[in-house]
A and B are shown apart, each in its own frame.
Chain A
Amino acid sequence: MDTKTAGEPDQGTAIHIAASGRAGEMWGLAFRIFFLNIVTATIYRFWGTTAVRRYIWSHTTINGEPLEYRGKGSELLFGFLIVVLFIFAPLFGAFFAIQAFFPPTSPVFGLAMLALYLILFFLFGLAIYRALRYRLSRTAWRGIRFGLNGSAATFAAKFLGLLILNGMTLGWMTPVLDMFVMRRLSSNAVFGRTPFQFDGSAGRLYGPFAVTYILSIIGFVALGIVMFGILRPLFEGLTPEDMQKPDFILKVVPAYLIFFGGAIVLSVIVGSIYSAARLHAWAESMRFERLTFTTNITYGGLVGLIVTNALLIVFTLGIATPIAHMRGFKFILANVKAHGTVDLAKIEQAEKGTPRFGEGLADAFDIGGI
């Protein structure tokens, strides 16, 4: 126990986080968003996302007091337009010009394509960071804003470097990459002026990662052998003309569907071993003031969530996506517990400004999440 200055009372407050969103209410919202997206050729999506977030945030309480989401649909729309006009339009123009002036076999074309991919991956990192910054800056509790400090460009540059390293090591840098992302995003996050802290290393992730890696190789080889057995008799003795015929296509399409279905099921079953470990590492490495976190997320629980969410989205043709998002959010909050206390008197509003526009880049890369 700390020695206390005389007269200063112990201001420590225990923290309990809960989520109370109801699927029934979210269904109403989901159907309205779906309908309006059709009517407006998906332009309503910016307001739809905002409405979903407002619902989820306001139904998330810390010690019984709700979070506040202050974002606006128009901010997301303008963010998107800015990104399209100032980033994607020039990129697209340059890409087309290169295509028009250089044949695909020339070295200039190859270099330009390489540069394009590097730029896209850099932008992807930028998108992750800026999207979180926007969301946190629009989140408040007791009138105090959250935020994300630090430079998005620095993050994106290091992210790109790690991605390249990860490719060169055939994926074996994944735990380092994931830990880097979690550390950067968590330790630069603030509530008011008080930073979150993150104290974790990639070492603990390598065990589960190796299990996932080896099992997926075994699984995919097995799947490949099964598919070869199914497909070979179908292709035997056929000319290219035969392959354009409907009855051939009718036979081949289900076979491919089985393959892709199998690949997806396999990656969920095997990938969740690593994903569960990563969620544990994230929660257990994070601290805020005198708060620490634990989680009782289990492998089975995670697989159950992913499978039910996927079925929900597939069988409603995407209409239920907001419900799936809410279920994911509630799953995390229900399984993460905060220990210790926070001295609320020490938490003060940050003076810093907040970004004016929304997460256009994230929208373009479809990593919007909730």
Chain B
Amino acid sequence: MPYRARYFDGVSAVAHDVFVEFGEQALGLRGDMLAPMEWRYRQLTRHDDGATAEIWIGCKSSPAARLALSDSPAIIELHARAPRLFKSHGSLGGTFRLALLLGAVTAGLAGLFYVGLPQIAEQAVAYVPARVEARVGESYRLSTVSTWPACAARSDAQGQVALDALVARLGGDDLAQPVTIDVVKMPVENAFALPGGHIVLTRKLIEKAEQPDEIAGVIAHELGHVIERHPMIGTLENLGLNAVIGLVTGGANNIATSSAATLASLSYSRKLEARADAHGIAMLERAKISPLGFAKFFERLEAAESPEDEKSDKGGLMTFKLPTFLSTHPASPERAALARATTLKNVRSALSVQEWAAVKGMCLGYTPGRPGKNAQSQPND
């Protein structure tokens, strides 16, 4: 029995009255102005979202054409012949499968990146020309000292000279490029190396140190990072990560974000830390400075960490914390063992009493030669 329906030929927007007949394999369309047509059930497509009483269908053999059925017996008949068309559009099963697939792809990519990115960065650093690294490092150093002022007053000159000399003594022939060292007024104790051979110590770290050997140990460790180009590796990793996050989430605006602050908060893998340590201890040995100071310094920082942590957490939600040396250099038993295993004879202090006093006085406006003003300064040995 034929049903009335409206047909749209996909050529003009005019409606044609047609009769629809349901056959075994296909539905037949007949109309006054129309050559008879057969639409196979297998090729039918649905084009309404159930928003109106009419059912709108199409056929893959003439993709632009549409048939609107409003007769309920006709719709019931169609339902019986092609039940597939009446499954809800965003069926839970289909959505679930798509989600599972996309979720797996996402997790896979994330895993690949988590493992692969550091490796890629380690390899890629060989292709970064020294000139480029120098530029990057320069801009990082600039942004560091413009955020946290460096101790560069006239009264700091002697301390600076002492630190520069210490760097030269530790580095010896290992350093391919000149290395700078800055003491900055960052409100946490930390030390980090920037690309291009720039070491940054915070005043707070110097405050925490009781002996020059401790600072020498920290500098030797950071020099180890410099020799291995770890800061550049870290920068590449950071860049890659930002690019990937930007790519996946579509944030084109944050693609070019990387700063000295993120570098300071970057922690290297255990493997890179161990390499920096190995260099550091070798340098200390060669310079005849006891590595014990380095090991002790870590232990003291760690002992002081826990109560201070609780105190600074009182700010609640609004506390912004800068990374500390310990948070980026988690204490490792290997490091302590390595430092203690080296038994050096004829050790010399890293700095003379005057030099140490000058370093301790940096950024305080303290002039060496008038000791006693700095109560924290202690004699060595």
Q: Which residues of A contact B (CB under 8 A)?
A: 11, 20-21, 29, 32, 36, 39-45, 47, 51, 54-55, 58-59, 61, 64-66, 68, 80, 84, 88, 92, 95-96, 99-104, 141-145, 191-192, 241, 244-247, 249-250, 253, 344-349, 363-366
> B248: CB under 8 A from chain A?
yes
Q: Which of A68, A88, A102 contacts B56 (CB 8 A)?
A: A68
Bound Cα distance from A346 to B243, whole angstroms: 51
**How many residue-residue contacts, CB under 8 A, span A and B?**
147
* Interface of chain B, main secondary structure: mixed
Check A58–B51 contact: CB distance below 8 A: yes
Q: Which of B58, B66, B135 contacts A101 (CB 8 A)?
A: B135
A123 to chain B, nearest CB (A): 9
Closest to B109 in A: A41
Closest to B249 in A: A42
Specify which chain B residues have a CB less than 8 angstroms from the CB of A99 in the assembled complex. Answer: 135-136, 139, 256
The count of chain B contact residues (Cβ–Cβ below 8 Å) is 54
Check B12–A100 contact: CB distance below 8 A: no
Check A92–B256 contact: CB distance below 8 A: yes
25 A–B contact pairs at CB < 8 A?
A20-B51, A21-B51, A29-B90, A36-B98, A39-B99, A39-B106, A41-B106, A41-B249, A43-B248, A51-B90, A92-B256, A95-B256, A99-B139, A101-B131, A101-B135, A142-B13, A144-B12, A144-B64, A145-B64, A246-B312, A246-B314, A253-B318, A344-B14, A346-B12, A348-B12
Check B11–A348 contact: CB distance below 8 A: yes
Check A345–B14 contact: CB distance below 8 A: yes
* Best-surrounded residue of A47, A58, A244, A365 (most CB of chain B within 10 A): A58
Q: Which of B50, B99, B250 contacts A40 (CB 8 A)?
A: B99
> B347: CB under 8 A from chain A?
no
Check B102–A40 contact: CB distance below 8 A: yes
Given contacts A54-B49, A247-B315, 8 further A-B contacts (CB under 8 A): A39-B106, A68-B48, A68-B56, A143-B8, A143-B66, A144-B64, A245-B315, A344-B14
Specify which chain B residues have a CB less than 8 angstroms from the CB of A88 in the assembled complex. Answer: 252, 255
Specify which chain A residues have a CB less than 8 angstroms from the CB of B132 in the assembled complex. Answer: 100-101
Specify which chain A residues have a CB less than 8 angstroms from the CB of B58 in the assembled complex. Answer: 143
B133 to chain A, nearest CB (A): 9
* Best-surrounded residue of B15, B49, B105, B135 (most CB of chain A within 10 A): B49
Q: Which of B13, B50, B110, B256 contacts A144 (CB 8 A)?
A: B13
Check B256–A96 contact: CB distance below 8 A: yes
* Best-surrounded residue of B11, B56, B58, B90 (most CB of chain A within 10 A): B90
> B9: CB under 8 A from chain A?
yes
Check A44–B239 contact: CB distance below 8 A: no
Closest to A349 in B: B11
Specify which chain A residues have a CB less than 8 angstroms from the CB of B99 in the assembled complex. Answer: 36, 39-40, 44
Bound Cα distance from A39 to B14, whole angstroms: 46
Q: Which of A41, A43, A101, A347 contacts B12 (CB 8 A)?
A: A347
Specify which chain A residues have a CB less than 8 angstroms from the CB of B48 in the assembled complex. Answer: 58, 66, 68
Also in contact, A32 and B90, with CB within 8 A (given A66-B49, A92-B255): yes
Segment 42-90 of B: residues with Cβ below 8 Å from A: 47-52, 54, 56, 58, 64-66, 68, 89-90
Specify which chain B residues have a CB less than 8 angstroms from the CB of A141 in the assembled complex. Answer: 13
A89 to chain B, nearest CB (A): 8
> B138: CB under 8 A from chain A?
yes
Bound Cα distance from A241 to B185, whole angstroms: 9
> B127: CB under 8 A from chain A?
no
Digit string of B232-261 for contact with A (CB within 8 Å is 1, else 0)?
A: 000000010001000111101001100000
Check A42–B135 contact: CB distance below 8 A: no
* Best-surrounded residue of A42, A44, A143, A244 (most CB of chain B within 10 A): A143
Check A144–B318 contact: CB distance below 8 A: no
Bound Cα distance from A344 to B314, whole angstroms: 72
Check A92–B243 contact: CB distance below 8 A: yes
Specify which chain B residues have a CB less than 8 angstroms from the CB of A39 in the assembled complex. Answer: 99, 102-103, 106
Bound Cα distance from A249 to B320, whole angstroms: 9
Check B315–A36 contact: CB distance below 8 A: no
Specify which chain B residues have a CB less than 8 angstroms from the CB of A365 in the assembled complex. Answer: 252
Also in contact, A366 and B250, with CB within 8 A (given A43-B105, A96-B239): yes
Check A250–B90 contact: CB distance below 8 A: no
Bound Cα distance from A2 to B10, whole angstroms: 29
Closest to A32 in B: B95
B368 to chain A, nearest CB (A): 25
B62 to chain A, nearest CB (A): 10
B100 to chain A, nearest CB (A): 8
> B111: CB under 8 A from chain A?
no
Also in contact, A43 and B106, with CB within 8 A (given A32-B90, A65-B52): yes
Segment 4-57 of B: residues with Cβ below 8 Å from A: 8-15, 47-52, 54, 56
> B371: CB under 8 A from chain A?
no
Bound Cα distance from A68 to B51, whole angstroms: 11
A252 to chain B, nearest CB (A): 10
Specify which chain A residues have a CB less than 8 angstroms from the CB of B314 in the assembled complex. Answer: 246
> B346: CB under 8 A from chain A?
no
Check B12–A61 contact: CB distance below 8 A: no
> B2: CB under 8 A from chain A?
no
